[in-house]
Structure 1
Amino acid sequence: METESAEIVEVVETLPNPISFKVHGMMCTELRTFVDRIVKIFPEIEEARPRCSVVIKALCSLNGVIERAKLLLQYCSESSKLYLAITTDAIVSRCRKMKNLFEQCLCQIQGMVPVMLVDEISRIVDDLGAANFVPDKFEEEAGKVVRELLQRGAAALDSMEHTEMKALQTAASRLHITSPKAILIEKRSIKKLLEKASESDQQKKKILKYLLYLLRKYANLIIGSQTDNSSDQNEGAFAVHTHSAYAESHTEYGQYDPQAETLNRAIIPPEEFKCPISSRLMYDPVVIASGQTFERTWIQKWFDDGNDTCPKTEMKLDHLLLTPNVSMKDLITKWCRKYGITIQDPSMQPDELCSLENFFHFHS
């Protein structure tokens, strides 16, 4: 049984960092948190030495679900963004199935362990029952437009090219595949999926090859005015439309997104100005014990949910104090003033607070 425990601990140590999930970040973070909570009490359940065959079988099943959850999380951190988006329904189904299996296994174990463990298992079971794995609206839209493109029958060449450009434009903006680096990473991810695809799965191979073809054919149009200042007016117009569509998509849901406005102006903020958790310009940057800087609202929520590690480095923190990063705040303020960008306090925006709750919250 000791070997089994060691294997379970290894699962936790190799879980992907929450900020590494390429698509379905909120669902994956929620699933990851459940796995982490369950693994922490697994050794104590074993130490209770339940002898009932039903409980022993449930423990084995629980171990198997943890392994499958780990593989799904790893997949969502390494796979192609486009392919993850078009298979959204499958990812949602797998997350919900694992949720139900976790709940079922824990309920079978609950009555055969010490009282203190019963309380903790009960809390996890209650949280599992309340969990609702829902995909991000923008990622879901990206998947929808690409699926519609895949389902489109034969059409005239000119019409098909226009449809392809429009679909890829929408998907790329929603999935943030809008820079040379992002496109390169996406191509490599698709190639890796192709290498791993079995010979019997020809449909998957066909889809992946088509996605790769789209990226190769329209890469310059996706990047658009961010890197290309050529005199091709058609290409320039397409790039501007791409940025505008991104900004409009956020306005449609009542959100003001500084990053969307920045893209619309073809201005890319320095990476160090963005919060590693939200990927947005920081309004109130603070430094934590690991030396990393985050938006105060996001990192405070991370700590409030019981985490004592750095989301970026995964190192355990000596303390949870937040120190204002005055220098970073000054640099961001000057940069925003230069380009006419306004950053609103995320803690004062209802939509942002709702997003935070969906991303981190577990009823305790």
Structure 2
Amino acid sequence: AKLHRDMCKELSAVYCKVLSIFPSLEEARPRSKSGIQALCSLHIALEKAKNILQHCSECSKLYLAITGDAVLLKFEKAKSALIDSLKRVEHIVPSSIGSQILDVVGELEHTKFLLDPSEKEVGDRIIALLQQGKKFDNCSDNAELEIFHQAATRLSITSSRSALAERRALKKLIDRARVEEDKRKESIVAYLLHLMRKYSKLFRSEMMDENDSQGSTPCSPTGQASNEDRTQAFGRQLSKFGSINFKPMNSRKSGQTPTPPEELRCPISLQLMCDPVIIASGQTYERVCIEKWFR
């Protein structure tokens, strides 16, 4: 995980334990309506846990930092969903498997997800930058870059490679926000990308790059250089950059398709249904999957 490593470690351990006993759950093949629904709920809970773990490993570090509270809430919801679904499954499987499930439930109930204080502090500082983004003028641009540099350093965005990875992650978030037509998220991520580009250009000579034949040593704007030299360097670079323009973007890029509704996915396979059928309970499933469960 890029951020929230402790929470990811806790959830990942439980996720792997549930996956290890899942073959035994499938062998039980509950034929009742409640049994099928219980297994479906466990499928969905596992998918939620998988998604949040993937989110923390692939998303932008800057975005993960500023959305710490929302990420924590997702972890809590994933935990609750796993506990509820496991308890439902425990009643429909043999006692030997049920005891393993109860052990996992007990572990989950004693798990407490907490944000890393240092990551939360970084997130709060970046949020402060976002809130005053349009208020910065030429005289205070130095302070903006100084704060952003410290935050990026705390998040280990200290090399050209990590800066490139961060920009790519932010671009993916912008594309997703446009598909979802989430203007607020798009504006926030666009401003983060603006700061990231500004940071990358300003400190490009300070970052160690494997293709750099000069062998220069990276330095920090908070290093030993005099205030006058640092201010002049900042001024020369900042004069090249314009301020961000938050224009609404209504058009989608060609080739982008909207995310299909979850209702079109089979609760068993979690894949888009090609041959959907409705059972007596009113629930819709992929024909092949539901027939397999009833065999």
Structures share a fold, TM > 0.5? yes
Tell me how far apart the structure 1 counterparts of residues 220 and 164 of structure 2 sit (CA, whole Å): 23
Partner of 2:282: none
Map Cα deviations across residues 83-129 of structure 1 (whole Å, 9 max, x no partner).
11111111111011110110111112223221211211111001000
1:32 aligns with 2:12: yes
Q: What residue is the counterpart of 1:210 in the other structure?
A: 191
Tell me the C-alpha RMSD between the 2 structures.
2.4
Contact 1:96 1:133 in 2 (8 A): yes
Find the partner of 1:100 among 80, 87, 107.
80
Q: Give the 3 Å change call, closer, same or farther, for CA 149–44 of structure 1 in structure 2.
A: same
Deviation of residue 152 (structure 1)?
A: 2.3
1:83 aligns with 2:69: no
Name the counterpart of 1:150.
Answer: 130
Question: Match for residue 73 of structure 1?
Answer: 53
Letter in 1 for 2:187: K
Task: Check conservation: 2:30, 2:36, Cα contact below 8 A.
Answer: yes
In the TM superposition, residue 178 of structure 1 has moved relative to its aligned partner by 0.9
| Equivalent of 2:107 in 97, 104, 127 | 127
Distance 1:64 1:128 in 2: 17
1:171-191 Cα offsets, whole Å, 9 max, x none, are 112110011111111111111
Partner of 1:238: 221
Q: Which residue of the partner structure matches residue 182 of structure 2?
A: 201
Question: Partners of 1:156 and 1:150 in 2: how far apart?
Answer: 10
Q: 1:219 maps to which residue?
A: 200
Q: Take 2:157 and 2:208, find their aligned partners in 1: how far apart are those partners?
A: 14
Contact 1:32 1:73 in 2 (8 A): yes
Structure-1 separation of matches of 2:188 and 2:161: 22
8 Å Cα contact 1:27-1:134 kept in structure 2: yes
* TM norm structure 2: 0.66
Residue 72 of structure 1: how far off its partner (Å) = 2.0
Task: Kindly state the Cα deviation for residue 56 of structure 1 after the two structures are TM-superposed.
Answer: 2.4
Q: How does 1:1-364 map to 2 (within 5 A)?
A: 21-152=1-132, 154-158=134-138, 160-197=140-177, 198=179, 200-221=181-202, 225=206, 227=208, 238-240=221-223
Which residue identity lines up with residue 185 of structure 2 in the other structure? K
| Length, aligned pairs only | 215
* Amino acid corresponding to residue 192 of structure 2 in structure 1: L
Letter of the aligned partner of 2:81 in structure 1?
L
- Indicate if the aligned counterparts of 1:86 and 1:143 stay in contact, CA closer than 8 A: yes
Measured after TM superposition, the shift of residue 221 of structure 1 is: 4.8
Cα drift, residue 81 of structure 1: 0.8
8 Å Cα contact 2:136/2:144 also seen in 1: no
- The amino acid across from 2:111 in the alignment is A
Gaps of 5+ in 2: 210-217, 225-295
Structure 1: gaps spanning 5 or more residues: 1-20, 229-234, 242-364
Q: Looking at CA atoms only, which structure, 1 or 2, has the larger radius of gyration?
A: 2
* d(CA) in 2 for partners of 1:173, 1:156: 21
- The two structures have a TM-score, normalised by structure 1, of 0.54
The answer as to whether partners of 2:66 and 2:126 remain within 8 angstroms in 1 is yes
Q: Is the 8 A contact 2:60 2:169 kept in 1?
A: yes
In 1, Cα distance between equivalents of 2:157 and 2:205: 12
Deviations 1:245-267 (A, max 9, x none): xxxxxxxxxxxxxxxxxxxxxxx
Q: CA separation in 1, counterparts of 2:115 and 2:205?
A: 28
Alignment partners' CA distance in 2, 1:134 and 1:62: 24
Structure with the bigger RCO (C-alpha within 8 Å, sep 6+) is 2
Alpha-carbon distance between aligned partners in 2 of 1:203 and 1:31, rounded to the nearest angstrom: 30
**In the aligned structure 2, how far is the partner of 1:154 from the partner of 1:217?**
15
Fraction of identical pairs, as percent = 39
Q: Structure 2: which amino acid aligns with 1:216?
A: R
Tell me the distance in 2 between the aligned counterparts of 1:88 and 1:138: 11
Whole-angstrom distance in 1 between the partners of 2:160 and 2:18: 40
